[in-house]
């Protein structure tokens, strides 16, 4: 099966590392011109160089913090100046933090409003608000061109919640809601909108969660065994590799996948059914 993205432009958020990096490499290899966004300028620069060396020069990059309210305007201005219209939007950037009910407030007088909680706000800003804002910014031009792909990287935790990750799970459930609603709205315009839901993927995010002493303590896991416990929780007894997720994203971008929209597609080694 040949998937070709020649002549298409793909914007990938969170492209500096992990899954986003693999997606950017995959889409570039399929022929897309790529725009790479994350905070780390040096990592983006070296990825753009790698893509440009392999594909003779088409990746552009910008360091942006998508948690900041002004990011979308800044991004849109930059892409306009670069003559880069977005055909494919991959909302991949994401953050995870362990969060739990603290017994410090057991007397009930220090009630914290989740809306004012820093961790909750940051998680929602990056994992949920930014993807929705970017879809609103870039879908109108996709409608005009009658073709588009929006791919939101959610999670297995967006379908089946995990303990001690309420903000993360809520943001990823919400992202599937955004996906379904936009898929319905954009279906008649040749635009598909899908969520990809990975299980454990071997990246910094997974390593940080597995190595987090707080997460291990809350889950009653010996930190020395936590990687094995995570691995063995997966029926395939392994962590997924970033390029496997990227392959699925590449397929969803292709015309072969034009009938797939509004879906939440798991790539988890069987974790969702275990």
Question: Using CB under 6 A as the criterion, which residues of the chain lie in contact with ligand NAP when the complex forms?
Answer: 14-20, 38-40, 43, 64-67, 92-96, 126, 153, 155, 198, 200-201, 203-206
Catalytic residue among 61, 96, 168, 251, which?
Answer: 168
| CA gyration radius, the chain | 19
User: Is the distance from CB of 15 to CB of 37 less than 8 angstroms?
Assistant: yes
User: Vertex 93, ends 90 and 95: CA angle to 5°?
Assistant: 150
Quote the least distance from Cβ 64 to ligand NAP, whole Å: 6
Is residue 101 within 8 Å of residue 167, measured between CB atoms?
no
Nearer Cβ to ligand NAP (125/186):
125
What are the helix and strand counts (H, E) for the chain? 10, 7
Using CA atoms, how far apart are residues 199 and 239, in angstroms rounded to an integer?
Answer: 8
Report the DSSP pairing between strands 33-38 and 60-63: parallel
Closest distance between ligand NAP and the C-beta of residue 260, in Å? Answer: 19
Distance linking the first and last C-alpha atoms of the chain: 31
Shortest separation between residue 50's beta carbon and ligand NAP, angstroms: 15
Least CB distance to ligand NAP at residue 268 (A) = 8
Task: State which residue, 9 or 92, has the beta carbon closest to ligand NAP.
Answer: 92
Residue 168 bears catalytic tag: yes
Residue closer to ligand NAP by CB (options 17, 189) is: 17
Given the complex with ligand NAP, which of 4 and 158 has the nearer CB atom? 158
- Catalytic residue set: 168
């Amino acid at each position: 099966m040949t998937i070709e993205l020649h002549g298409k432009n793909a914007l990938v958020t969170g492209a500096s590392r992990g899954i986003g990096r693999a997606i950017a490499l995959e889409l570039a290899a399929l022929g897309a011109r790529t725009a790479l966004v994350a905070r780390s300028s040096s990592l983006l620069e070296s990825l753009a160089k790698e893509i440009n060396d392999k594909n003779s020069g088409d990746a552009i990059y910008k360091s942006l913090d998508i948690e900041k309210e002004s990011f979308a305007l800044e991004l849109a201005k930059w892409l306009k100046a670069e003559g880069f219209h977005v055909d494919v939007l991959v909302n991949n950037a994401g953050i995870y933090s362990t969060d739990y009910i603290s017994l410090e407030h057991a007397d009930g007088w220090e009630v914290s409003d989740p809306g004012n909680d820093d961790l909750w706000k940051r998680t929602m800003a990056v994992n949920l608000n930014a993807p929705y804002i970017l879809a609103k910014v870039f879908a109108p031009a996709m409608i005009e061109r009658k073709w588009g792909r929006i791919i939101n990287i959610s999670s297995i935790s967006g379908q089946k919640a995990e303990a001690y990750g309420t903000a993360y799970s809520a943001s990823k459930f919400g992202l599937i809601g955004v996906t379904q609603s936009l898929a319905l709205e954009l279906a008649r315009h040749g635009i598909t909108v899908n969520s990809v839901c990975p299980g454990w993927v071997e990246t910094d995010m997974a390593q940080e969660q597995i190595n987090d002493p707080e997460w291990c303590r809350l889950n009653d896991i010996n930190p020395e065994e936590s990687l094995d416990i995570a691995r063995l929780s997966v029926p395939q007894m392994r962590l997924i590799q970033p390029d496997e997720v990227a392959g699925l994203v590449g397929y969803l971008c292709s015309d072969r996948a034009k009938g797939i929209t509004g879906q939440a597609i798991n790539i988890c080694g069987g974790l969702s059914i275990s």
